[in-house]
A and B are shown apart, each in its own frame.
Chain A
Amino acid sequence: MSFLFPGFLVAAGLVSAAVVVLHFLVTQQPRSEDLPTVRFVPDVPARSTSVAIKPSDLLLLLVRVLTIMAIGAAFAQPQLKPKHQRVSRIVMADVSRATGNIKEVADSAARYTQGVLATVVFDSVARDVNPNQLADTLAAIAGKPRSVRRGSLSSALITTLRAASRVRDGADSIDLVVISPFVGEERDAATASLRALWPGHITPVHVASTADVAGGADAAASKSTARVEWVDSLPAGNNALWSARPKPDTVGAVRAGTAVMVYPFLRRWQPAGKADSTVRVYARWADGTPAAFEQQGAGNSCVRSVAFSLPSAGDAGLRPDFIRFVQDLSAPCGVARDVAPLPSDFMTSFEGPKTLAPVSSIKPREMRMTPLVPWLLGAALLLALIELLVRRISGGNAGAAAAALEAEVAKRKGTGVAA
């Protein structure tokens, strides 16, 4: 076991030592004795600090010390060192819309379970999941309708780099396995740069893409005409995606794809709630809120639910941007998707060198500790000192009286006046 911040443990030890010292340095009433001539002793508050010869309340002392040490250890953040192995593995599993069969991804991942320290499941968003729960996670994804989210190797690489920082202490080197169809839409401008941050070899495991599974039908299906639903025309309560706005307002523009329509649209509807993975925003109002959804239907069909009405008055219908806007609304389902496999030169550079990534080349995880903790500890120490000061002040009445007596004694010595 090691400590991320052993200084806290040292501080707790020092505080415990101080508590032990203070425990034996007790303020107590002095020992009581008889004296017949006690009436000649000045009457001042009696309190004295003395070192207890016979230790008392040892159990209390033990509890106090253990409490302080526990707090110190908590701040010090003890770390149980994981079982060290020569090579460990991180698996990235692609569950985006480009993946033809999630079960194939799960089967491929199962072949790389040995030595896995982290697993990352990604589509457009990457998630660091527990390696022991990877199979369950993939099974759950396979049981749902296919995702419409585009895969992003860049976001997956970022999450993987973080996971590598977390697990770097458990191995000498790390093997990164990426299970993906590796299609063109999963690459973006940052992918190459992020790949360069991984200091070793990446093992790509190809799975079938949707195009491979459909035998080219997927591309054709993406050309199928979408069905447009105008929410204003539907019977009330017949649409699960939209709910009526409490107070309709007017928005000046709406954008669908690259087409923008400027017109004082009356906005009556708002999204009903969180949409599932089969629904994506197709058009947005000028303020960014959804104006139309595209929902994947059975097979390769889709339905576009539009929450506004086209202008029926004025010359808006004659403008070119209106025509372009209508064409975009009635465009085939899905956006233009690059489902072609990534080129071989990219894959070569993606695989990188033959050597695995040494953990020494991976940045350790930057610990983010709230800056309040050291302040709290300092405040606790300060309060302990203040507590001592307050105890002295409360016992200071006796000190003030003693000072007065000292002055009186000096005065008597000086003047020789008898009491």
Chain B
Amino acid sequence: MPLEANDSVLLDSVRSIRWPARRKSPAGMAGNHLSKVLGVSAEFTEYRAYRPGDDTNRIDWKLLARSDRAYIKLSNDRTVLSTMLLVDASGSLAYPAATLEKWHFARQVTIGLASASYGGADPVGMLVATTEGPRRLPPRTRRGVVQDIAHVLSGITPGGSPELAPLLPMLRSAGRVAIISDFLGDAEATLKMAGQLAAMGREVHAVHIVHGNELNPPRRTTLLTDPENADLKRPMTDVTRRLYLHNFDDWREQMAREWRMAGAYYTQVDSTDTVANAVRRIVTPQGTDGARR
């Protein structure tokens, strides 16, 4: 399935990006992420006293000869991390209506994340919340899965107000879940369900898509309309613009705080940045201090 020209450029720009797990992953097939289970690979990690039932082949016989104590050698096991990308295709992402710039940015971020995950040999899949119902691609490691994701996203036009929260339980089997959304829909319910996934040991990423005009609205006086709710009209003047910026900043800070408190990794990306930078910021571990980026 051929890729769009922009997607090819995008994949070239994110080709070197990998998406390491933020913590040890559950045991699974051999992969690139540290496993919670210490295995028998060649990479030595530590000794442990022999216990009945252990494989005698793993006893360090030289150490036994020197110390007359039986120890077995342990090593870090590496495993794959199944990644599911939950994409919000609500009407709020169809902005601006003429170019759908916000949606295209979210779509390219999704493709970039899929590529980064696929580059680490992780199975990657996608679940898109649309008004016609969820569109699901199960996690795969086979070749062409990123192209499949790109193709599915190309056929979706955002609109309506689909809910994300009911879809999150479908992602329990995935080791990593990335929610790509502007969180202008059922944000509270989504946060609650995502918190449950994090509590279950899943690595949850909240990728907050923001358009440049949302961060810095035009200074001209306009009557603004919510694309998801045509009845919601508000005037944008110099005065209301200042209060809007206050409100929006406060809301984003609150969102980041709540997501992090729920055990998720929150990253805000805006459409004025390049997709490669946005993907790099999402996948790069930032420590545990929860500093906002």
Contacts and interface: CB of A to CB of B under 8 A. Distances in A.
A34 B221 contact: no
A34 B97 CA distance: 8
Interface of A is mostly: mixed
A117 to B, nearest CB: 66
Contact of A409 (B91, B227, B246): B246
Contacts of B233: 32, 38, 46
Contacts of A397: none
A417 to B, nearest CB: 9
B226 to A, nearest CB: 5
Given A37-B184, A38-B234, A409-B239, A419 B224 contact: no
Nearest to A40: B247
A34 B95 contact: yes
Contact of B223 (A30, A36, A406): A30
B270 to A, nearest CB: 12
Interface string B223-246: 111111000111111011111101
B251 interface: yes
B93 interface: yes
Given A36-B102, A36-B182, A36-B214, A43 B97 contact: no
B277 to A, nearest CB: 22
A46 B235 contact: yes
A36 B95 CA distance: 7
A313 interface: no
A31 B225 contact: no
Interface string A390-413: 000000001000100110110010
A48 B225 contact: no
B213 interface: yes
Interface in A32-64: 32-46, 48, 50
Given A39-B232, A42-B234, A418-B253, A34 B96 contact: yes
A349 to B, nearest CB: 85
Contacts of A45: 235
B68 interface: no
Contact of A30 (B97, B221, B241): B221
A29 interface: yes
Contacts of A412: 246
Interface residues of A, number: 29
Contacts of A418: 250, 253-254
B205 to A, nearest CB: 21
A48 B237 contact: yes
A398 B235 CA distance: 10
Contacts of A398: 235
A112 B236 CA distance: 83
Contact of B236 (A29, A41, A402): A41
Interface in B32-56: none
Given A30-B222, A35-B217, A46-B233, A41 B92 contact: no
A50 B221 contact: yes
B211 interface: yes
A48 B236 CA distance: 10
Given A406-B239, A418-B250, A33 B225 contact: yes
A32 B246 contact: no
A36 B211 contact: yes
Nearest to B182: A36
Contacts of B226: 34-36, 38-39
B30 to A, nearest CB: 43
Contacts of B250: 418-419
Given A30-B221, A36-B102, A41 B95 contact: no
A38 B221 contact: no
A36 B228 contact: yes
B246 A37 contact: no
A32 B224 CA distance: 6
Nearest to A41: B234
Contacts of B95: 34-36
A48 B238 CA distance: 12
Contact of A35 (B214, B237, B239, B254): B214
Given A35-B226, A38-B224, A40-B251, A30 B244 contact: no
Contacts of A50: 221
Contacts of A405: 239-240, 242-243
A346 B244 CA distance: 100
B240 A32 contact: no
Interface string B79-109: 0000000000001110111000010000000
Interface in A369-385: none
A41 B95 CA distance: 17
Contacts of A43: 234
Nearest to B246: A412
B222 A36 contact: no
> Most A CB atoms within 10 A — which of B226, B243, B254?
B243
Nearest to A47: B235
A413 to B, nearest CB: 9
Nearest to A410: B242
B165 to A, nearest CB: 19
A408 B127 CA distance: 42
B240 A42 contact: yes
Given A34-B227, A48-B237, A42 B222 contact: no
B243 A42 contact: yes
Interface in A1-50: 29-46, 48, 50
Nearest to B242: A409
Contacts of A402: 237, 239-240
Best-surrounded residue of A29, A46, A50 (most CB of chain B within 10 A)? A46
Interface in A296-334: none
Nearest to B92: A36
B246 A34 contact: no
Interface of A: 29-46, 48, 50, 398, 402, 405-406, 408-409, 412, 418-419
23 contacts: A30-B223, A31-B221, A33-B224, A34-B95, A34-B96, A34-B97, A34-B224, A35-B214, A35-B217, A35-B224, A35-B236, A36-B214, A37-B248, A39-B184, A40-B248, A41-B235, A42-B240, A45-B235, A46-B223, A46-B234, A405-B240, A409-B242, A412-B246
Given A34-B225, A418-B253, 5 more contacts: A36-B226, A36-B228, A50-B221, A409-B243, A419-B251
Closest 3 A-B residue pairs measured CB to CB?
A46-B235, A36-B92, A41-B234
